[in-house]
Structure 1
Amino acid sequence: MEVAVKRVSHESRQGMKEFVAEVASIGRLRHRNLVPLLGYCRRKGELLLVYDYMPNGSLDKYLYDASSAGTLDWPQRFHIIRGVASGLLYLHDEDWEQVVIHRDVKASNILLDSEMNGRLGDFGLARLYDHGTDAHTTHVVGTMGYLAPELGHTGKATPSTDVFAFDAFLLEITCGRRPIEQNEHDNRIVLVDWVIEQWRKGLIIGAVDTRIPSGFSPDMVSLVLKLALLCSHPLPNGRPTMRQVMQYLDGDMVLPDLSSAYLSFTMLERMYDGDFNQKMLPYESSTSMGAVSDISGGR
């Protein structure tokens, strides 16, 4: 069978933590929208994780690589969105004794199988904890643009911090833009702020990726973008749960009016920005992923 092998640095302390985190968190998880872990071993000084091979690679290739960008139509994008939401709901499932917090939800960690189903992968930062307990960390890890503002103050990863990262992913796949970009004047453009501005002007549909082939459903695009803004609420209790996200996506619940559900971002920006940006630590992965042809003995 064709597999993918993730090689983890054996010498780095962070690499060992990632290896243990992936085995502990995903080793016994089975869901159609998660990349399944098939096995793991230590070989010649390397820690190896073996996964199902995802032939269509990572989602970010289809959003940002010039040769592939714009090839995903809207039905494919919505199918991926719903799949990732379903996978996160499974991880956060309130009926389980323990919950898994992914902590690094983003387009580059979403892999596409042969049928273009979105599968959440890379559990190197994940945390497994019992319901009702605090998943406290001593420093903030993750990727700029996906980190919930409360992480800089509390250091606690929760299902709600995954929901915040899911908002950035929703904007990525719908707008075809990264969460944080530099413009031609070298100014930082925060995607969620730009989409909020379009929403306030009544022009939220204008935020959609213009490269989407065969058009799109304005109602569905509007739903996804407004849901993203709801998930990006600066206060954790202002965000929906992943169960509610699925209900919104499936049309089983009506999305609340953002104008009444939202607090002023200008006020909250003053609350969070300075202190949060000082405390936030960038994360650099110590792992690499490759097809089985890169490593011998991959069967």
Structure 2
Amino acid sequence: MKQLPLILLCVISLTLILCFTLIGKEKIQYAIAQTFYHKNYISVQSSPGKELRQEQFKPDDLLDITIDGKMNEDIWKKSQIANRFFTEGRTPDDEVVVNLLSDKEYIYLFWEIDNGSSLNANIMKNDSALYGDDYIQINLKPVIPDSIEYAREYSFSIAVNPEGTVWDAYYDPYHTGYFFTNWNSNSIVKTIKNNNSYMIEMAIPYAGLDIYSDPGWIWNLTFNRAKAAINSISSSMTGLSVVQNVKVRNPRMVGYYWPREDFWPDIIPSLKNIEKPSSEAAKLVTP
């Protein structure tokens, strides 16, 4: 009988030890499972997630570039380059090189064209179609946020001939598509001509692009080159992209969307509560 308390004490002790052991194993297993589980997720607050989560590059500086047609600045060594051009029949055009830079306010382009023959540049009046001349052309198309429902396929085009004559237009694909040449890009352009070649340096301000855009918008640029001597147009095989870092609001340009009343409230917020905005311009066209 004297051994009974001792036996009970041993039983209780063993039971407690077993319980703590099992609990400990569960905690270890839980900890292991938790660690394994969280390996599927990487926090961006610390390494390596912090390094993996890099913000989109949005230039917040101003480049010291003089538009003189000479490309003397060292910063041009860091430019993006487009130099693979093809005609519609897939014939390579190796006579064109485009260099691209951008900062907070401008898109900078430097074109080098080896024409291979004498230049054709007879049109001197800006906003005249450069048909029959040698020229280069930039097409700028924004990547539209999903929050903007209408008018998503528009773009802008700027063409320059060796004389520095500028044709710029807003393209609206409404119906069969229209170029509105009363849009002014306010581009700064300088050209230098040689016997069989020419160079064009230009700065395109973001402030003149679009009527409603925000920092972070991406613009896709494609390029064309027209050679009058053989009546051909070549296009860049791939485009280049830049990121806008300024806010643009140009309500005065709403006229470019005059056939499309449903888009106006996105441009002029005061129209959001008006069911059918209208204007004299809109009445000129049958949608």
TM-score w.r.t. structure 1 length?
0.24
Larger radius of gyration: 2
Greater per-residue helix proportion: 1
TM-score w.r.t. structure 2 length?
0.25
